[in-house]
Amino acid sequence: MTIRLAALDPAGFPAWMERSASEYAADLVSLGSTSEAARSQAKLTLRAAFPTGRPSAENAVFNLIDENGSVVGYIWVGPDHSKDPTSWWVWDIVVDSAARGRGHGKAAMLLAEDYARSRGARTLGLSVFGFNRSARGLYESLGYETTSIKMRKSLMDG
């Protein structure tokens, strides 16, 4: 299946920010954060990237549109926080659960690579939670390499 990227309409941006914050907060909770701390961290992260609460020239948010014209997810890509302007980052990618397993994630990543490359990027990085094995497999199949690993052990289990 093929997809295309469509720039997120500014009118839909507040709803996207809310969705992105909620999904990020849920991931943080699954890693042990409290709901309150996770929600706060997610909102801070998005506010730092989009201080005006609107799309910015530095950060591109695209809807993933399938061959039927349906929105099946989104991807957010832009420069990373290093001083190297050729280093870009996939800040978030979500393929809706009903649309997973159809190649949309792979297609979105390849389109994001093209987008970043066209803007001078020489590298594209991302973070992936350790529990997200399917995403890790996808990124590895596309040639992404592990550059750092964080580890943790719960001390509450006995």
| CATH code of the domain in which 51 resides | 3.40.630.30
What does the pLDDT average to over 3-25? 94
CA distance 67 to 145: 30
**In 8-158, where do the E strands start and end?**
60-66, 71-79, 87-95, 123-126
Q: Is 148 inside any structural domain?
A: no
Distance between CA atoms of residues 22 and 96, nearest Å: 14
Domain assignment present for residue 100? The answer is yes
Q: Looking at the domain assignment, is residue 151 inside a domain?
A: no
Whether residue 150 is contained in a domain is answered as no
Report the pLDDT value the prediction gives residue 158, as an integer from 0 to 100: 60
Computed over every residue of the chain, the mean pLDDT equals 91
pTM: 0.87
The structural domain count of the chain equals: 1
In a domain, residue 149? The reply is no
Determine the pLDDT at residue 8. Answer: 94
**What secondary structure letter does DSSP report for 152?**
-
Write the pLDDT tens digit of every residue in 53-82.
888 878 999 999 999 999 999 999 999 988
Residue 156 lies in a domain: no
Q: In what order do the strands lie in the sheet with 71-79?
A: 3-7, 60-66, 71-79, 87-95, 123-126
Q: 39 pLDDT exceeds 90?
A: yes
Residue whose pair of structure tokens reads 């980052």 in the numeric block: 89
Mean pLDDT over 137-146 rounds to 94
- Strand bridging mode 87-95 / 3-7: unpaired
Structural domain contains residue 153: no
Output Rg (C-alpha) for the chain, integer angstroms: 16
Domain containing 33 equals 3-141
Confidence class for position 29, pLDDT limits 50, 70, 90: very high
> pLDDT at position 157, please?
66
